[in-house]
Amino acid sequence: MSYSEINFSKLSDSELLENYKQTHDKKVIGELYKRYTHLILGMCINFYRDRDDAEDALLQIFEQLMEDLKKHEVNCFKAWLICKVKNYCLNDLRCKDFQNLAMQQFQQFVSTDVSEPDNELLDKKENMLERLHKSIHELNDFQKKCIELYYLQNKSYAQIVAITGYSLKEVKSYLQNGKRNLKLILLNNK
């Protein structure tokens, strides 16, 4: 039987993963997508409470799977997938919370009534933005680049990988360490 005659729906998850490692054929991911869409979408809806956001997450997760499965040895796909979905959703929601907070603070800053300016409040906000800007520049170049792209320019992980040439794992690491270091810098520079 030739490769084109393989019926992917009859293969086990393990056989599909082995096939994907060898061929990187997107049809294999398509079969996994068919098998696990309902599970992942259900989990994402539980996290996001919004079907559109959950469907966006579902697509992002499968996009990441195409790369992750090339690199990682997976023994029990379903358990591994559940863990990936949970981690993706928690990280994404955490980032969105951070972005929402930053946006609220920025909108508050912009919407301050300038007809009767509260100079003390404006000075505080300006000082806070200056400290944040200076603190970002104290990060190492890798972390600074990822923080700026992700939080200030709203780029996705995939876009940052494409722009910087860093691996997905490196981008995630630079963002995580950059956030932690930024917090420490801000606390130390009060």
Predicted confidence at residue 174, as pLDDT, reads 92
3-state secondary structure of 112: coil
Q: What is the pLDDT of residues 137-150, one digit of tens each?
A: 889 999 999 988 88
What is the torsion angle, in degrees rounded to the nearest 10, for the CA atoms of residue 160, residue 162, residue 164 and residue 167?
80
Which contacts (CB < 8 Å, 24+ apart) does range 135-140 have?
135/182, 135/185, 135/186, 135/189, 136/182, 138/185, 139/178, 139/181, 139/182, 139/185
Predicted confidence at residue 133, as pLDDT, reads 79
Contacts with 57 (C-beta within 8 Å, 6 or more apart), sequence order: 44, 47, 48, 88, 89, 92
Q: What is the pLDDT of residues 33-63, one digit of tens each?
A: 999 999 999 999 999 888 988 998 999 999 9
Residue 92, token pair as written in the block: 């994404």
Least confident of 17-31, 43-57, 99-113, 155-169: 99-113
Summary mean pLDDT of the chain: 83
Predicted confidence at residue 178, as pLDDT, reads 87
Give the integer Cα–Cα distance in Å for 90 and 173.
16
Looking up tokens 């009534």, which residue turns up? 113
pLDDT confidence tier of residue 152, bands split at 50, 70 and 90 = confident
Q: What is the pLDDT of residues 111-138, one digit of tens each?
A: 555 555 566 766 776 777 777 778 888 8
* pLDDT score of 27 more than 80: yes
* Domains detected in the chain: 6-88 (1.10.1740.10), 117-190 (1.10.10.10)
Give Rg (Cα) of the chain: 21
